Amino acid sequence: NKIGIAILVLGIAFFVKYAIDQDWINEAGRVAIGFGCGAGLLGIAHYLRRSYRAFSAVLAGGGIAVLYSTVAFAYHQYHLFSQPLAFALMLLVTVGAVLLALLYDSLALAVIATVGGFATPLLVDNGSGNYTALFLYLGILNAGILGVAFFRRWPLLQGLAFGFTALLTAGWLLHVNGYIGGTVRLINYGRALALVTLQYALFLASSLAFPLRFRRPFRAWDLTLLLLLTAAYYAAGMLLLDDVQGGRYHGLFTIASGVIDLALAVYCFRRRGTDRNLLYVLIGLALTFATLAVPVQLEGHAITLFWSAEFVLLYWLFLRSRIGLFRLGSWLLMGLATLSLLLDWLYCPPTDGGLIVLFNNLRGGVTNAVVIAAFGAYYALLYRRDNPESQPSRRALAWISGSAALLLLYVSLLSTVNLYFYKYDSLDVPNVYHRIVTAALALATGLLLLRRRGAAAPWIALGIGGVALLYYAFSQGSLSGLQQGVLLGRYSWSHVAANAVATGLYIA
């Protein structure tokens, strides 16, 4: 029946095209034929709905597709409609399709209506950049998705609606910021944020409506959509607020996002029968935003900070819910957070003296500290008593997270030294403090490993100590420059004393 309806729609299209090529029908007549064919298909579908339910649903989908394409052609090709009228007609078609989908209990018909509805802005776009009309239209469509969510649990429909809304919003944001088209457009940022918040509120309600109304458990997909929705809204809001007084309201927006999740958590907690996994997700999100508020207000790299906090949150949610998708998500976000941090380092310019630094202000320092803390927290979660990981898996993840935390701490401390001595054009003085950092960190790590009393701990501690001693040996060459600089009065004698401290640490 699906092949049949496709052939029928194509047949109608070819017939109309042939009639147009022969000049049998003028433009208004062509549009009338399209509307007539679409309405006819819907009428036949309604007539056959009891005897041939599946076929009638597909027939209705074909009628909806014909109506969408007819409005698009009437607007774009023949200019018979204004843009507002074309929007209104397509919206009317979408509402009718949603009602038919509920009547026939047909996901396929709902999908056709959704795809057609979200394709409308692309079909009737005239390049005017009227974002208010765009987001109000998306809001009406998503309100329809919310209406369906009260009666049917169709994850595919919600996923499609979210995907289309996210793509259209991302495309608009890229266009506004000049990444597409090459020209930055001036907009009312307060209005834009309110419109984006409207989409967030509608999707948030639609993701919660069916499970809360019928007291059904939240599936992995429901919770994943909630996390994706929160991340997308936060990213869009932060990007919009970048251009409002230099990001002054980033921290306030972060707190507001956390308050929304906390309020939902309180509501769900007071409502009997709410799935505990939903509570864990909402509380975890609220804690994440509360943790991020201060670093973000201190102008940290928002994406790196969010992903770092999120991969710890996802693993904690895995421990509480035993949903394997959260564990996989935590691994993915761990990789993305690491990549984002490396990109932050890559775009950091060197000091005036040429020393390599990974961050050059408080913003970068806070970001590095949060990422290090995230890996440390992940390592700690691995050794909780209720962790269901197998021993080999736990050991491998502990190696990854522990090594990452240690390495990031080490290079961040080295970068801090270089940043402090940014005026120097050589490593004579910074090298002394590099040696102190290397020795102190190797000593502290070795002592911590020995306290764990594992079979491999002494060998790991010995390996770290050996690497530190190699660094000590290879860095001896810069001491001659330090000594000459002190004798010539270029450097302070305190650096020589600091080198003695470094030697003492290596002996220890």
The stretch 368-393 carries a mean pLDDT of: 89
pLDDT at 25 over 60: yes
Angle, CA of 283, 304 and 246, to the nearest 5°: 100
Quickly state the pLDDT bin for 404 (edges 50, 70, 90): very high
Residue spans per domain, the chain? 1-126, 431-508
Cα–Cα distance between 398 and 390 in angstroms, integer? 12
pLDDT at 218 over 90: no
Q: Which of 104-118, 410-424, 452-466 is predicted with the least confidence, judged by mean pLDDT?
A: 452-466
Q: Which of 114-123, 374-383, 401-410 is predicted with the least confidence, judged by mean pLDDT?
A: 114-123
pLDDT at 233 over 90: yes
pLDDT attached to residue 205? 92
pLDDT attached to residue 260? 93
Cα–Cα distance between 209 and 227 in angstroms, integer? 16
Whether 102 contacts 152, CB under 8 Å: yes
- Half-sphere exposure of 163 toward its Cβ, with a 13 Å CA cutoff? 10
Tens of pLDDT along 173-190?
A: 888 877 666 555 667 888
Q: Is pTM, for the whole model, over 0.85? A: no
**Cross-strand pairs, 471:** none
Which one, of 285, 150, 171, 123, lies nearest residue 158 by Cα? 150
- Amino acid 457 reads A
Which one, of 469, 481, 476, 473, lies nearest residue 508 by Cα? 469
Whether 120 contacts 69, CB under 8 Å: no
Distance of CA 142 to the CA centre of its chain: 20
pLDDT attached to residue 375? 94
Candidate ranges 164-173, 215-224, 268-277, 299-308; pick with highest mean pLDDT: 164-173
DSSP sequence for 88-119: HHHHHHHHHHHHHHHHHT-HHHHHHHHHHHHH
Quickly state the pLDDT bin for 57 (edges 50, 70, 90): confident
pLDDT attached to residue 440? 83
Structure tokens at 326: 């959260």
Tens of pLDDT along 459-506?
A: 777 777 777 777 777 777 666 666 666 666 666 777 677 777 777 777
